[in-house]
Structure formats: structure tokens, C-alpha cells
């Protein structure tokens, strides 16, 4: 297992706008919030403790909509995303508890706008760390002549939430302060787990570092969806066979 931590996240301001439900950062209404967003963004950077733990494990398709992780854990998954995979990156990441605690305090004190923006900053930070983790997988794949697949996250369309149990058997999330609850959710809340297939001839490769919304079942109804707001630069995710 390896660990990484990041001290200098960007927290892109247009992404903060999107996460608080104001996707058009250049509109007159959005610009009126710019000063408070910039102020809270700087505060957020002080609260974020971005860390991840990850490792690479052998993987193969072992049945209909089932894969075998590390030659010992059969789990349900959309097998088409693992066709051609030789290994899979398994990762758990978090931004720590401090930002969420401060956001909750702001809400409790009636500072609703600041609390909402701070919470949005935390979600932007989670996405940014996910892209950094994905960059690690792409770097490894490039060095070995492999392709990378898509980010596959427990609770999404391709991987059921129950796979969280296996991920936490493979990785010791407590080393970065992340634990799994009885309901298979992670604590701190702003944490994330994922798998990225790697192989020489993946049926569904994706070489982009960008986090996209196409794999989410709520892609057109979520108030924060990049697709709903027609954000450019997305790479389309192929449908399951």
C-alpha cells in the first residue's frame, strides 16, 4: 500500500459555483457572490487535509457481472469495464473532518451562505483529489505500456455499494483516518473510494484525468451535473453492454 497527501489544492472557483448550484460564474448574479466565495475558498484551504491510500491488485472477470480481486475476493461489478484488465488500482481518499465540522458550525450559527460555500469547497476538493489519484494510475499505466479504464466507485451504476467491504479489506483506510460504518458509508463524510482498471487492451479505455458525470445515474437530474450545465471538455463514457 502507498499513501499520498496534497497540501496545495487549487479549488477552482467556477467549480465552487457549480457545486453551490450557480454554474454560470460570469453571470451578474453569480459575480455578486464572488467576494464571499473567494474568502471562504481561502478558509477552506486551511481546513483541508487531503490524503489517499492505494494499491494495485490483480483482477479478472470470474463470472457474469462478477470480477475476482487479488485472486481471492469475488465481487459484483459491470464486467465489460474490466474486459482486458490485468490489474486494478484500488484507492480510498479523504479531505479529513475539519472542513465538515466548520461547515456544520457555520450552519448552526446561522451563517448559511458561508456554510454552504464551505461545504461546496469540500466537494470540489474531493473531486480535485480524485483527479490527482487518477493521474497516479495514468502515470503507472503509461510507464508499463498499459491503458487505464474509468473510475468505478461503489454505489454507482457499475459497482454496488457492497464492494466497500472488500475495498476496506484490501486497504487499511484507518491509516488516513477513514473508517467504514455499518451502512457501508465512509467517515469522514467527504471521503471517496474507487477502482481503476489497467490493461494492455481494455474494452473501455479512458486516458483522461478529468472527473466526469456520465457514469452517474443522476447525471441529468443532479443540480450539480456538468452534463446538465453542458460543461465542455467531458469524455463520454460508453454504455454497458
- Give residue-wise pLDDT tens across range 30-61: 888 899 999 999 999 999 999 999 999 999 99
Which helix (H) or strand (E) element contains residue 5?
strand 2-6
Residue 192 β-bridge partners: 93
Question: Coil, helix or strand for 168?
Answer: helix
Residue 200, SS3? coil
Peptide bond into 48 cis (omega under 30): no
Set of cell numbers at residue 32: 455578486
The CA distances from residue 215 to 72, 159, 211, in Å, are: 27, 11, 10
Are the C-beta atoms of residues 132 and 53 closer than 8 Å to each other? no
Left, alpha or beta for 216 (phi > 0: left; psi -120 to 50: alpha)?
Answer: beta
The residue among 235 and 174 whose pLDDT is bigger is 174
Lowest-pLDDT range, 7-11, 67-71, 99-103, 237-241? 237-241
* Contact by Cβ (8 Å): 214, 227: yes
Task: Check residue 154 and give its pLDDT.
Answer: 94
Residues 6+ apart with CB under 8 A from 173: 53, 92, 179, 180, 186, 191
% of the chain beyond a pLDDT of 90: 75
> pTM for the whole thing?
0.86
Contact 40, 123 (CB under 8 A): no
Predicted pLDDT of residue 64: 86
**Which grid coordinates are listed for 232?**
465542455
Domain residue extents for the chain: 2-199
CB 75 within 8 A of CB 57: no
8 Å CB contact between 75 and 163: yes
Pick the range with the lowest mean pLDDT from 21-25, 146-150, 211-215: 211-215
What pLDDT shows up at residue 29?
81
How is residue 35 annotated by DSSP? H
Percent with pLDDT over 70 in the chain: 87
- Please report the pLDDT score of residue 24 as a whole number: 74
The residue-averaged pLDDT of 187-196 equals 96
Residue 240: the pLDDT is 47
- What cell does 16 get? 465552487
What pLDDT sits at residue 69? 96
Task: For residues 135-158, give the mean pLDDT.
Answer: 93
Provide the pLDDT confidence category of residue 224 given band limits of 50, 70 and 90: low
101-139: pLDDT as tens digits: 999 999 999 999 999 999 999 999 999 999 999 999 999
Closest CA to 20 of 131, 146, 118: 118
Please give the pLDDT value at position 21. 85
* Domain topology for 2-199: NADH Oxidase (3.40.109)
Would you state the cell numbers that stand for residue 30, as one nine-digit string? 453569480
Interhelix angle 98-108/112-143, nearest 10 degrees = 160
pLDDT of 241 strictly over 50: no
pLDDT of 235 > 60? The answer is no
Residue 187 in 3-state DSSP? strand
- Tell me what pLDDT residue 200 has: 95
Rounded-to-integer distance, Cα 159 and Cα 142, Å: 25
pLDDT above 50 for 233: no
pLDDT confidence of residue 148: 95
**Separation between Cα atoms, residue 99 and residue 105, nearest integer Å:** 10
- The per-residue pLDDT for range 50-91, each reduced to its tens digit, is 999 999 999 999 988 999 999 999 999 999 999 999 999 999
Amino acid at each position: 500500500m502507498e499513501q499520498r497527501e496534497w497540501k496545495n489544492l487549487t479549488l477552482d472557483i467556477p467549480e465552487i459555483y457549480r457545486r453551490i448550484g450557480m454554474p454560470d460564474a460570469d453571470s451578474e448574479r453569480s459575480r455578486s457572490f464572488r467576494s464571499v466565495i473567494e474568502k471562504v475558498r481561502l478558509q477552506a484551504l486551511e481546513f483541508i487535509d487531503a490524503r489517499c491510500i492505494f494499491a494495485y491488485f490483480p483482477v479478472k472477470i470470474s463470472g457474469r457481472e462478477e470480477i475476482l480481486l487479488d485472486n481471492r475476493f469475488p465481487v459484483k461489478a459491470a464486467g465489460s469495464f474490466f474486459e482486458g484488465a490485468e490489474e486494478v488500482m484500488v484507492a480510498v481518499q479523504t479531505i479529513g473532518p475539519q472542513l465538515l465540522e466548520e461547515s456544520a458550525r457555520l450552519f448552526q450559527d446561522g451563517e448559511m451562505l458561508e456554510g454552504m460555500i464551505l461545504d461546496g469547497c469540500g466537494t470540489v476538493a474531493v473531486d480535485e483529489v480524485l483527479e490527482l489519484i487518477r493521474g497516479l494510475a495514468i502515470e503507472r499505466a503509461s510507464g508499463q505500456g498499459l491503458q487505464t479504464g474509468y473510475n468505478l466507485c461503489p454505489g454507482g451504476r457499475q459497482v454496488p455499494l457492497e464492494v466497500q467491504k472488500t475495498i476496506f479489506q484490501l486497504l487499511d483506510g484507518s491509516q488516513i483516518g477513514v473508517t467504514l460504518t455499518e451502512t457501508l458509508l465512509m467517515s469522514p463524510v467527504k471521503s471517496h473510494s474507487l477502482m481503476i482498471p489497467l490493461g494492455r487492451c481494455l474494452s473501455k479505455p479512458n486516458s483522461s484525468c478529468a472527473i466526469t458525470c456520465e457514469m452517474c445515474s443522476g447525471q441529468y437530474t443532479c443540480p450539480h451535473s456538468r452534463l446538465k450545465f453542458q460543461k465542455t471538455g467531458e469524455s463520454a463514457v460508453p454504455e454497458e453492454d
